[in-house]
Structure 1
């Protein structure tokens, strides 16, 4: 009886090991490259010649030889992502989970969303993300992705932020521990100084260089026009800007996205020297800094922006800032330079929109012929968002 029990115990253990192995195998990426005969995940000249001979002999068909030619001519692809990791891709990526929503937006521009199989639930309320993508399986939140859900989708690549504020190093380590062959690509898309390099890398990875070209030209054109108008300004000629991010008195240091965008637009952040990234200040501090321009972002999804054309709540918010105790003595208030901007204009992959509006606000004379609304519309057209800004203008109060 004891031997039988021992045998059953060993059998149960074997079954558990088999099931565990099967589970891990389900998460193993398919590393096979068609035409690769020696297991190095590439097709050499010699291997291609042998495949041509097999095609001539009728062993492989014309579709297969076309795939093998692609593997030989284009792959492997090697890029250095924004986390400094060298990423090698041996064949076309067909199943991608995107954890960085900004990349999803750029993939719409590149017409490459057909390979997305899952993304975070954070994008459900993003207006520029297409409804078709919002119906895909979700994989948790950016701050807490569901790793099991990601792996169940059996992706051949996962794209996440390069920035480590979302514990991205740890997430990458855990994913690749379960599936060592899984490609993890780290891109941010929100830094203006690295944006185009990231777009180019993404386009290269997805074989969408041609689709990227028009967007890259557009981005360079807009940034170039702003730079030509403001690039030679002395520090004294740059307006001093106080920025509030979505809540009263929350502002940003020099490392904040707003401060960086303001600098590109030809302005100076009055709280750039703050020790914390997003400090909360007070009215007395604002009065002491005496900014030339005050800008507040507004993010109520039920009023203004892409939601509707009602700007009444934005106007009320502006009046409340103007009517704060002591505001009448601030230069920005005296000169009627207090602005409310819809939060969807600022930062992210679409930062070029916000920078364009900021530049026009800060330098209306230097950029007299520059139209940020046109930049905004062109970006929406690139993304594929059906929206006419000539009919809907509820993004900036007062109008500029």
Structure 2
């Protein structure tokens, strides 16, 4: 069968209360046709719902037309049965752009066009990284932000697709992948690779479980996706239960600095309050000091007076320099933080006075690590060391790398977050 794509605009349907569709409360809706009852998976409950729908006993839902032929009938029941058994010939998926994408199964090869590592880490976690045949240059060009011989050794030999905003579509057409994955459709034009299905499906701090499950169904690795989601849920629960016990009046104020400021100048930057940089702080129980910064971009420049007036108790430095899986010597990091603590314009800031200034890997923890989960854990250890004393960030990080990223890396020998809190 030739690989092909059928992309249709999805039509909004009337709002439906999830509790009316399923006896169990759901935290997300799996955006795959066949999920008739609009819960987190495709199973026998969807067959039951579809049977009732055909009899006219319940309302049609957005994903009840399993084969996407505009008719709900016995053929949809057969498609759902195939999806449950894992032997469907195709899958119809809604992507982040609201498009309906048909993907022929099985998928033996894919290319990834992406700006962060959340998506690729998810694909590696569910065991399909061996199917990648091309990736954009950030991952395969030494010196660029996502390049790591230690963390992404398998990407060193795949095709370079070009820059994030300068994709070489000829290379992709020559590769002939079964699937093209992008997390940023604004920079990818599917019209230029018309013979292959393109799905825009990001994994980020807002959707890691649902996106993981969508990928699990797309690649036929549902059980591995469920195991990964379960691990994320367990770790998030441990963190959130502790955070919920912290009174608002006792929460630590935090300044997140995007990039490393020159220690000889007074120029700084701060992210938008809506950015995941700040959400990772909130997930750790901290209070970002930039709640009035509401912009479309990632960050804005601020001066030292802006920081001093807000007097953060902790300062977090997010950077691609000096830290990462390929960094093994803390000397340079320690020297930089010591120089930062000597900056005279910040001398009155509590974080500086109390030496609560920390550095974290931007590319691999803030923009990676189970969609920022590990980042929030390191943050929590820094913000509330006593409360989180029984959670070993390094050990949990090691489990993630070994069990879900399938890598033989000793996290303790890498400088990912500095200085560590016991």
Pairwise TM-score range, normalised by the shorter structure: 0.7 to 0.9
Q: How does 1:296-307 map to 2 (within 5 A)?
A: 296-300=317-321, 303-307=322-326
- The answer for the alignment partner of 2:389 in structure 1 is 368
Higher helix proportion (structure 1 or 2): 1
Asked whether 1:359 is paired with 2:380, we answer yes
Q: Distance in 1 between matches of 2:369 and 2:173?
A: 27
- Tell me if structure 2 keeps the 8 A contact 1:93–1:156: yes
Q: How does 1:144-163 map to 2 (within 5 A)?
A: 144-161=166-183, 163=184
- The answer for the alignment partner of 2:63 in structure 1 is none
- The answer for the alignment partner of 2:110 in structure 1 is 96
Query: What is the CA-CA distance between 1:268 and the residue it aligns to?
Result: 1.3
Asked whether 1:267 is paired with 2:267, we answer no
Query: What is the CA-CA distance between 1:365 and the residue it aligns to?
Result: 2.1
Specify every segment of 5 or more residues in structure 2 that has no aligned partner in the other structure, as ranges. Answer: 6-66, 76-81, 141-146, 262-267
- The answer for the alignment partner of 1:347 in structure 2 is 367
Instruction: Report the CA distance shift for 1:231/1:85 in structure 2 as closer, same or farther (over 3 A).
Output: farther
TM-score, normalised with respect to structure 1:
0.75
Query: What is the CA-CA distance between 1:304 and the residue it aligns to?
Result: 4.6
Instruction: Look up the SS of the partner of 1:196 in the other structure.
Output: helix
- The answer for the alignment partner of 1:212 in structure 2 is 225
Q: Distance in 2 between matches of 1:349 and 1:389?
A: 12
Q: Distance in 2 between matches of 1:172 and 1:258?
A: 30
Q: Distance in 1 between matches of 2:68 and 2:272?
A: 47
Q: Distance in 1 between matches of 2:166 and 2:258?
A: 24
Instruction: Report the CA distance shift for 1:231/1:356 in structure 2 as closer, same or farther (over 3 A).
Output: same
Q: CA RMSD in A?
A: 2.9
Query: What is the CA-CA distance between 1:237 and the residue it aligns to?
Result: 2.5
Q: How does 1:212-231 map to 2 (within 5 A)?
A: 212-231=225-244
Q: Distance in 2 between matches of 1:111 and 1:77?
A: 19
- The answer for the alignment partner of 2:158 in structure 1 is 136
| Counterpart among 389, 394, 400 of residue 415 in structure 2 | 394
Query: Deviating runs (4+, > 6 A) in structure 1?
Result: 68-72
Larger Cα-atom Rg: 1
- Tell me if structure 2 keeps the 8 A contact 1:159–1:186: yes
- Tell me if structure 1 keeps the 8 A contact 2:121–2:368: no
Specify every segment of 5 or more residues in structure 1 that has no aligned partner in the other structure, as ranges. Answer: 1-27, 33-39, 47-67
Query: What is the CA-CA distance between 1:41 and the residue it aligns to?
Result: 11
- The answer for the alignment partner of 2:214 in structure 1 is 201
Aligned pair count reads 332
Per-residue CA deviation, residues 266-321 of structure 1 (Å, 9 max, x unaligned), is: 11111232143301111111111100101112322xx4532242111111211222
Instruction: Report the CA distance shift for 1:236/1:144 in structure 2 as closer, same or farther (over 3 A).
Output: farther
Query: What is the CA-CA distance between 1:129 and the residue it aligns to?
Result: 4.7
Q: Distance in 2 between matches of 1:287 and 1:98?
A: 42
| Counterpart among 302, 320, 337 of residue 281 in structure 1 | 302
Per-residue CA deviation, residues 214-253 of structure 1 (Å, 9 max, x unaligned), is: 2211111111111100125444322110111223112211
